[in-house]
Amino acid sequence: MRRILFNKKYVILPYVGYCYRELESASLRKTVAGYYYNTRGLAKFFRARPVPIGWRMILEIAKIPVFALTYPFGLFRALIKSRSRTPSQAEREDFSKAKAAVQAVYDRIVAGGVL
């Protein structure tokens, strides 16, 4: 979104290049750190667009106490789970293709003695 707002160049890959299970990898510490660093990243653009960027920064900072307060009651996992969804069959196939491509490159490098 930031790149679009500020006319940055980007590429959308036609396949899944990275996949993980958010629920198992999420922790309160990582989530809070993520919101903090998102806010710091947004601060770079504050002078160019103070109102929308300022509002977004407020929203990011406001999420920290929400997650911190819900964590002791087990609601943290429910909040994380509500953001996730099961991948579609097409996404699973794309991931399998990407994984196979990465494995092929790895095998070529290791078997070819490059490393």
Query: Highest mean pLDDT: which of 13-17, 34-38, 78-82?
Result: 34-38
Q: Which long-range contacts (CB under 8 A, 24 or more apart) does 79-85 make?
A: 80/22, 80/23, 80/26, 80/31, 81/23, 83/22, 84/22, 84/23
Instruction: Count CB-CB contacts under 10 A for residue 57.
Output: 19
- Tell me the pLDDT tens digit for each residue of 16-44: 666 666 666 777 888 889 899 999 999 99
- Nearest of 35, 90, 39, 22 to residue 68 by alpha carbon: 35
The letter for the amino acid at 37 is: Y
pTM score: 0.51
Model confidence at 51, in pLDDT bands (50, 70, 90)? very high
Which segment of 45-49, 76-80, 94-98 scores lowest on mean pLDDT?
76-80
Q: Is the confidence at residue 107, as pLDDT, over 90?
A: no
Query: How open is the CA angle 65-87-90, to the nearest 5 degrees?
Result: 150
Average pLDDT over residues 8-13: 63
